[in-house]
């Protein structure tokens, strides 16, 4: 299976202005070279057969007839090439000349797209697309000749593309928008924009934004340095985007002939399906062709940690944005409820640490003293010295009011009431502690006219790793859309940017502490209950969460991507083992999410029943688990 992955490429051939034979040799050479990479769509620059800087030579019949002969040569060579080719050239129709892109597939011209948005210089020679006749006679055949053509593969309708030439992407409503609304998942962009100092970033951000807006892949192929430098310089800049993300780039003057990338048509299809915005425009003309687009090997980079998509300065901004959103959400809730104080259970673990840091930022924003935050540590049977010490040090360093309430005797009294043996370490033994802690927090909040701030994260919600009406419940859940792996990044970011070395040191030790609910007695003073030993590695579960909920992928594709992402770390059997746990727990624990507390979505993935993720509590996981079982049997 190809799981929707398709190889595409932008080409930047060497060229000589007005030498059609040389340029055609280069186009054919690169098309054959791309064949080795199993490319399904290859996009060449604008007017690449002649060169884009021919000026009034475009009005010479000899150049035009040579370009037509070159097109015929490319057409003949394409019989042995499996990729669809987008090639730029000037074409005459009657008494008008057009700047065109011909779409070629295995010996056929599927269609010709004329350029619409022309500069004053272009208008010396070319006519705009609005004057195109609708069809053109080429080599004895009538070929569609329109601006908004969609080329769609019969074997996989997701492999459908349109063409947007050069400055047509700067129109108020560009062709790419209309083409995308009508079902084109890929936009081919033959271009001849000259290089200008400082414009690169603008061009990239503009194209990225259009790719995101259209939920499409966008292949930009720029003219090479062989273009004339009489008045301008061309750099051969190429780029490939997918839903706003840059997959590949050939920077200015890189002299890179081919820029390949692997796009995920399944991802684009799922994103469009969830948006409900596509397929609503007036219908464009669709031209079908029978290409074999299967791609058996995943060659693109698959991040192990998809919730943390940035690094460097972008990572810092990403973390700052999340803290700002968490704080703003808390500020609004405190102002609306007229609550004076905050109450939070602090364990010395990652989740409660992140929630406490967000609370500090919110109180700073409200200009309220941090002493109005009451952090409650409630040691019981499983509390270790290390986590208790870290909780105390963290609160001291942040200027938080810390209160310790040992709940051991209260829980033992409750055991006596319900006839639970303290030696029976089953579910009731663990959950009684979690529910007692929640009762303490709620009652303390009532005493202080305060709010209980929940600490549970997205990973725990997805797996149902929370005690119903225990740590499952709060008055506002600040971490509800943040998975465990991202919690770790955020705490690490705070540790690295904190000016208080004492706080930084304790945060680093918290990061180094095994994740645990600490509900079972420690062994020799150390944590005896490691969460990831019980439910599996959070980095795997967060990978499953992202690609199942955000992208809507099924088990087979998630497995294939996980094998690529975790190659050398986890083998296929290990991934399948915990994938089965994920699907089983995700479906069976929906009832806890059906009544989860309010909490702002800060990552774009929420399990809130109020719009984040709607699923009945009695939906079954059989289809997903059957597929996992089939994959195990392979």
Structural domain boundaries enclosing 547:
312-633
Among the three residues 257, 289, 321, which one is the final residue of a domain in this structure? 289
For residue 58, CA distances in Å to 51, 65, 66, 117, 210 come to: 10, 11, 11, 18, 31
Give me the percent of the chain exceeding a pLDDT of 90. 82
Token pair, residue 356, equals 């406490």
What pLDDT shows up at residue 524?
63
In a domain, 42, yes or no: yes
Of 151, 98, 102, 146, residue with least CA distance to 126: 98
239 shares its domain with 331: no
φ/ψ region of 419 (left if φ > 0, alpha if ψ in -120 to 50, else beta) reads left
Read off the pLDDT of each residue in 256-273 and give the average, rounded to a whole number.
94
Indicate if 279 and 318 belong to the same structural domain: no
- What's the CA gap between 583 and 606, in Å, rounded? 17
| SS3 state of residue 75 | helix
pLDDT of res. 287: 92
**Structure confidence at residue 382 (pLDDT):** 83
* Residues near 573 by beta carbon (within 8 Å), at least 6 away in sequence: 632
Judgement on whether residues 180 and 42 belong to the same structural domain of the protein: yes
For residue 280, pLDDT beyond 70: no
Question: What are the pLDDT digits (tens) for 398-456?
Answer: 999 999 999 999 999 999 999 999 999 999 999 999 999 999 999 999 999 999 999 99
Least confident of 70-74, 378-382, 394-398, 531-535: 531-535
Residues 530, 410, single domain; the answer is yes
Q: 428 and 332, same structural domain?
A: yes
DSSP 549: I
Please report the pLDDT score of residue 296 as a whole number. 75
Residues 17 and 86 in one domain: yes
Question: Is residue 61 a part of any domain in this protein?
Answer: yes
- In a domain? residue 298: no
* 261 and 348 share one domain: no
Inform me whether the pLDDT recorded for 528 exceeds 80. Answer: no
* pLDDT given at position 32: 96
Q: What is the mean pLDDT of residues 531-552?
A: 93
The predicted pLDDT at position 551 comes to 94
Is the pLDDT score of 82 beyond 70?
yes
* 529 pLDDT tier (thresholds 50, 70, 90): low
Alpha-carbon distance values, 491 to 25, 84, 302, 550 (Å): 57, 48, 24, 24
| Claim to verify: residue 406 and residue 341 sit in the same structural domain | yes
Q: Pick the last residue of a domain from 289, 321, 352.
A: 289
Same domain flag for 325 and 196: no
pLDDT digits (tens, 9 = 90+) for 189-244: 999 989 888 888 888 899 999 999 999 999 999 998 889 998 899 988 999 999 99
Does any domain span residue 304? Answer: no
For residue 384, pLDDT beyond 80: yes
543: in domain:
yes
Of 225, 254, 289, which residue constitutes the final position of a domain?
289
Q: Do residues 464 and 350 share a domain? A: yes
Tell me if 358 sits within 8 A of 489, measured CB to CB.
no
Does pLDDT of 281 surpass 70? no
pLDDT of residue 126: 96
Task: Give the total number of structural domains in the chain.
Answer: 2
78 inside domain: yes
Instruction: Say which CATH number the domain at 359 has.
Output: 3.40.50.620
> Average pLDDT over the chain, rounded to whole?
93
Under 8 Å between Cβ of 486 and 602: no
pLDDT band at 332 (very low <50, low <70, confident <90, very high): very high
For the cut 90, the answer to whether the pLDDT of residue 124 exceeds it is: yes
Which of 11-20, 280-289, 380-389, 569-578 shows the lowest per-residue confidence on average (mean pLDDT)?
A: 280-289
Picking from 258-267, 311-320, 452-461, which range would have the lowest pLDDT averaged per residue?
Answer: 311-320
Structure confidence at residue 455 (pLDDT): 97
Q: 170 in a domain, yes or no?
A: yes
pTM of the shown model? 0.91
For the domain that residue 246 is a member of, what is the CATH number? Answer: 3.60.110.10
Note whether 246 and 320 are same-domain residues: no
pLDDT at 311: 80
pLDDT of residue 265 exceeding 90, the answer is: yes
- Ranking 325-334, 377-386, 449-458 by mean pLDDT, the lowest is 377-386
Residue 132 lies in a domain: yes
User: Residues with Cβ < 8 Å from 229, sequence gap 6 or more?
Assistant: none
- Give the burial class of 53: count Cβ atoms within 10 A of its Cβ; 0-12 exposed, 13-18 middle, 19 or more buried: buried
Identify whether residues 282 and 333 lie together within a single domain. no
């Amino acid at each position: 299976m190809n799981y929707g992955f398709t190889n595409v490429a932008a080409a930047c051939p060497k060229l000589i202005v007005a030498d059609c034979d040389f340029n055609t040799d280069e186009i054919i050479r690169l098309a054959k070279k791309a064949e080795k990479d199993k490319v399904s769509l290859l996009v060449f620059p604008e007017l690449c057969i002649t060169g884009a800087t021919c000026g009034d030579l475009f009005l010479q019949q000899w150049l035009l007839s040579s370009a037509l002969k070159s097109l015929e040569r490319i057409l003949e060579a394409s019989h042995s090439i499996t990729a669809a080719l987008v090639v730029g050239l000037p074409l005459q129709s009657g008494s008008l000349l057009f700047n065109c892109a011909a779409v070629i597939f295995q010996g056929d011209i599927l269609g010709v797209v004329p350029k619409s948005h022309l500069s004053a210089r272009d208008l010396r020679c070319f006519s705009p697309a609005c004057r195109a006749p609708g069809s053109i006679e080429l080599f004895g055949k009538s070929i569609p000749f329109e601006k908004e053509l969609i080329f769609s593969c019969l074997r996989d309708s997701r492999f459908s593309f349109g063409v947007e030439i050069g400055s047509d992407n700067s129109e108020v409503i560009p062709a790419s928008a209309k083409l995308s609304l009508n079902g084109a998942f890929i936009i081919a962009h033959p271009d001849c924009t000259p290089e200008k100092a400082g414009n690169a970033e603008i061009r990239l951000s503009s194209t990225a934004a259009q790719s995101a807006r259209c939920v499409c892949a966008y292949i930009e192929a720029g003219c090479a340095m062989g273009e004339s430098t009489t008045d301008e310089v061309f750099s051969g800049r190429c780029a490939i985007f997918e839903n706003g993300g840059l997959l590949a780039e050939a920077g200015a003057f890189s002299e890179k002939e081919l820029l390949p990338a692997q796009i995920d048509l399944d991802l684009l299809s799922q994103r469009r399906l969830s948006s409900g915005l596509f397929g609503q425009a007036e219908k464009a003309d669709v031209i079908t062709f029978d290409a074999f687009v299967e791609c058996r090997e995943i060659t693109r980079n698959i991040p192990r940690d998809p919730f943390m998509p940035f690094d460097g300065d972008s990572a810092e901004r990403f973390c700052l944005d999340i803290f700002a959103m968490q704080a703003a959400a808390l500020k609004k809730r405190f102002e609306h409820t007229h609550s004076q104080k905050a109450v939070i259970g602090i364990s010395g673990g990652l989740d409660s640490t992140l929630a406490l840091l967000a609370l500090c930022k919110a109180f700073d924003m409200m200009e309220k003293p941090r002493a109005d935050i009451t952090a409650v540590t409630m040691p019981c049977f499983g509390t270790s010295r290390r986590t208790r010490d870290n909780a105390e040090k963290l609160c001291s360093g942040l200027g938080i009011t810390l209160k310790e309430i040992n709940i051991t005797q209260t829980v033992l009294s409750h055991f006596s009431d319900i006839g639970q043996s303290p030696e029976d370490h089953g579910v009731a033994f663990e959950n009684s502690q979690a529910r007692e802690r929640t009762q303490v927090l709620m009652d303390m909040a009532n005493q202080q006219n305060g709010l209980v701030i929940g600490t549970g994260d997205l990973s725990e919600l997805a797996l149902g790793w929370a005690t119903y009406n225990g740590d499952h419940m709060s008055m506002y859940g600040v971490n509800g859309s943040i998975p465990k792996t991202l919690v770790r990044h955020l705490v690490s970011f705070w540790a690295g940017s904190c000016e208080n070395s004492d706080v930084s040191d304790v945060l680093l030790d918290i990061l180094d502490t095994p994740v645990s609910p600490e509900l079972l007695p420690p062994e020799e003073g150390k944590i005896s209950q490691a969460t990831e030993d019980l439910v599996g590695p959070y980095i795997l579960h967060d990978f499953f969460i992202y690609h199942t909920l955000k992208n809507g992928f099924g088990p087979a594709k998630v497995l294939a991507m996980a094998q690529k992402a975790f190659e050398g770390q986890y083998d296929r059997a290990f991934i399948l083992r915990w994938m089965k746990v994920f699907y089983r727990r995700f479906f069976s624990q929906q009832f806890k999410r059906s009544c989860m507390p309010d909490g702002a979505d800060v990552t774009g993935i929420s399990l809130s029943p109020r719009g984040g993720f709607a699923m009945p509590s009695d939906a079954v996981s059989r289809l997903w688990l059957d597929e996992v079982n089939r994959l195990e049997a392979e």
